[in-house]
Structure 1
């Protein structure tokens, strides 16, 4: 005999039990989820640098990146300006420490499509007419997601199928169906900038935080309060970018700024703010190693507190023949100008980190862009077989 009740209708579950769908991706401009673990990331303004940051395709929010540089060059300043220009274009709150408004007027402008040199550098300047090859309008913007050398379909190996159906007669504009909205083009995650142009910065787009004057005991006492006020006075979806150029430089900081009792508490407070706002704040700093070598204990502590540490080691100066004006082709800026040393990458997950694991990396800065790529030494000048790509086979018995 069965004690199971029969003829009982199935009741629909409560709304609370069905609400297991994942939340929609963030709609904040300039922010997208990481392909590794889904944490929000933002672009540094340099696509090749985004690809280097532990496979997150950008700088994970809530983290800091330290750029060290050897010698008397200032290649790291170009990375800071790209980072600031990307924030201004995306509408983020950009805060710069220690410099004046003149620094903001030197930000690179967006790369346009009107110049001949720009088309040649992008690989599309082949004909006299100067017109790019066009495909179907629905595929024109395909591949903008992750333009740092890896397109959207490069990992899956999917093929591009063009629609070759005959065009329909022109019947005028088609009105959308009631209750449906037209699809909107997603905002670009990163942009291409041109160092030969200047970005038009509206008043109030960049906040300049001065260093405390010499009578003050702590030169970093104004940075954390200013950053905290900006975070508390803006909406929760506002992204902040903190930029600290040439940390501990005597041109911007007093001599006692390198005292550990002043610098280390400031860096710890900045790290605490980054952890308290993991979806709103990121920071990028530069440090001249010619003034503060890595062998000192202070620099080691700075590297330990920062989440990511990269070092730029420029090659010795060499005079190169530049192409005539207006004839800058694809080879412009391909000659490496220094080595990129990866000391630490931010947010390494259990899946591992990508970029710079065991590869030698080099950087090059042209008139229009900063690029990080793999580096290998050229063949010896007298070795003609190696220059032609032929391998030597020498077998002795």
Structure 2
């Protein structure tokens, strides 16, 4: 009969050969991942997202409050206007201020000197006209506003370590805004470390003009570090003013878009793309445009209103009685970036939208029809409602 000493702690379990096994060494905790500038998790599913440079457009993108990395957006525009060009400029300016690598296809270099400038912190602190009258129901509702309005005041700040900042001590953190506010009347001062490339198309009529673009993007993505975000801008695709005649051939353009899709799939955390398309030259009823739409994650259409012959512009009134610029067109959402089969990012309730491009910014609002001019009952009810709101004080 074998005996065993008592009151002796067991240091390890015996193995098959009778020898005691030592416990495994404690594992070191993994290093905390450094947040990338201009990137934050989506409030829906946590995937990394970045800003398009337009607050109201970020709020429209399927509830992610930004454009998810690894996705692309196609902005179609009918008519001879260039409202989509303003969105592309905001997209490029935001990327430069966040330290992203911006690639512009088919445009000359002077386009980079026309980017809108950022609004300073002192100007952002000044309250706009629509926020001069506060809601009198409860103080905690004062920050609520219209769709896409006042978004920058509620944005969270990112904490970036010293490795990505300058003139800071080791271990000291700085705050970088997720989204900047831009003014079209100003010009952007490019940071010293900004990366802006203008990729020119090939002019050989016997081959695809998009081959140099795909080679440039593949080389840049391969040679760059893993913490570099690449923004691809393709303006007015298929337009004869920027692209050679053979660029509209289906075997060339579809191969190019398939190449963009493959790069987005190969670098899902480092690349996003935005493309504009003139519908006046290539309508949505054509098969080529349908294929172009299928090869993009999101599809938006800008339909400007026809300008009046006399040039009169009626000024509308906001909810607080403030003046608002009239809408300049309709924005139709044909597709939003649905990122997996469970339908992540489909929480959009409104379906009709309008857009306004003022001298300073681009704004997207829900489309609401005013009361008919002859409908006196609706006008009287609207006036009574405004009077009741002004008398409510608690």
Q: TM-score range by the shorter chain?
A: 0.7 to 0.9
Map 1:130-169 → 2, pairs under 5 A: 148=151, 151=154
Q: Tell me, yes or no, if structure 1 residue 72 matches structure 2 residue 57.
A: no
Displacement of 1:125 = 7.6
Query: What's 2:392 paired with?
Result: none
Q: Residue by residue, what CA displacement relative to the aligned partner does 1:145-175 show, whole Å, maximum 9, x if unpaired?
A: x96379369xxxxxxxxxxxxxxxxxxxxxx
1:51–1:355 CA contact under 8 A, matched in 2: no
- The secondary structure found in structure 2 opposite 1:95 is strand
Q: Residue by residue, what CA displacement relative to the aligned partner does 1:179-211 show, whole Å, maximum 9, x if unpaired?
A: x98763421100000000011236863100001
1:64–1:283 CA contact under 8 A, matched in 2: yes
- The secondary structure found in structure 2 opposite 1:208 is strand
Q: Tell me, yes or no, if structure 1 residue 104 matches structure 2 residue 112.
A: yes
CA distance in structure 1 between the partners assigned to 2:73 and 2:7 by the alignment: 65
Query: What's 2:270 paired with?
Result: 280
- The secondary structure found in structure 2 opposite 1:187 is strand
Q: Tell me, yes or no, if structure 1 residue 372 matches structure 2 residue 364.
A: yes
Q: Tell me, yes or no, if structure 1 residue 301 matches structure 2 residue 312.
A: no
Displacement of 1:347 = 3.2
CA distance in structure 1 between the partners assigned to 2:379 and 2:153 by the alignment: 29
CA distance in structure 2 between the partners assigned to 1:380 and 1:58 by the alignment: 36
1:50–1:148 CA contact under 8 A, matched in 2: no
Query: What's 2:212 paired with?
Result: 222
Q: Residue by residue, what CA displacement relative to the aligned partner does 1:229-256 show, whole Å, maximum 9, x if unpaired?
A: 1112211111100000000000011222
- The secondary structure found in structure 1 opposite 2:268 is coil
Q: Tell me, yes or no, if structure 1 residue 388 matches structure 2 residue 377.
A: no
1:307–1:347 CA contact under 8 A, matched in 2: yes
CA distance in structure 2 between the partners assigned to 1:250 and 1:340 by the alignment: 25
Residue number among 26, 37, 62 corresponding to 1:54 in the alignment: 62
CA distance in structure 1 between the partners assigned to 2:122 and 2:205 by the alignment: 52
Query: What's 2:137 paired with?
Result: none
Query: What's 2:333 paired with?
Result: 342
Displacement of 1:66 = 0.6
* Cα 1:265/1:95, change in 2 over 3 Å: same
CA distance in structure 1 between the partners assigned to 2:287 and 2:267 by the alignment: 29
Q: Tell me, yes or no, if structure 1 residue 184 matches structure 2 residue 173.
A: yes
Note the residue ranges of structure 2 that are not aligned, 5 or more in a row: 13-22, 134-148, 157-168, 316-320, 384-394
Query: What's 2:189 paired with?
Result: 200
* Cα 1:360/1:33, change in 2 over 3 Å: same
Query: What's 2:355 paired with?
Result: 363
2:155–2:178 CA contact under 8 A, matched in 1: no
Bigger Cα displacement from structure 2, 235-244 vs 181-190: 181-190
The TM-score with structure 1 as length reference comes to 0.75
**How many residues align structurally?**
334
CA distance in structure 1 between the partners assigned to 2:287 and 2:369 by the alignment: 33
The structure whose residues are more often helix, as a share, is: 2
Query: Higher RCO, 1 or 2 (CA under 8 Å, sep at least 6)?
Result: 1
CA distance in structure 1 between the partners assigned to 2:262 and 2:153 by the alignment: 33
Query: What's 1:91 paired with?
Result: 99
* Cα 1:347/1:378, change in 2 over 3 Å: same
Residue number among 116, 128, 131 corresponding to 1:121 in the alignment: 128
Bigger Cα displacement from structure 2, 49-58 vs 285-294: 49-58
* Cα 1:290/1:272, change in 2 over 3 Å: same
Bigger Cα displacement from structure 2, 310-319 vs 74-83: 310-319
2:356–2:362 CA contact under 8 A, matched in 1: yes
Residue number among 212, 234, 240 corresponding to 2:202 in the alignment: 212
The TM-score with structure 2 as length reference comes to 0.76
- The secondary structure found in structure 2 opposite 1:81 is helix
* Cα 1:50/1:283, change in 2 over 3 Å: same
Note the residue ranges of structure 1 that are not aligned, 5 or more in a row: 127-145, 154-179, 324-328, 392-397
2:301–2:332 CA contact under 8 A, matched in 1: yes
CA distance in structure 1 between the partners assigned to 2:120 and 2:105 by the alignment: 30
CA distance in structure 2 between the partners assigned to 1:380 and 1:43 by the alignment: 38
* Cα 1:119/1:296, change in 2 over 3 Å: same
CA distance in structure 2 between the partners assigned to 1:150 and 1:376 by the alignment: 25
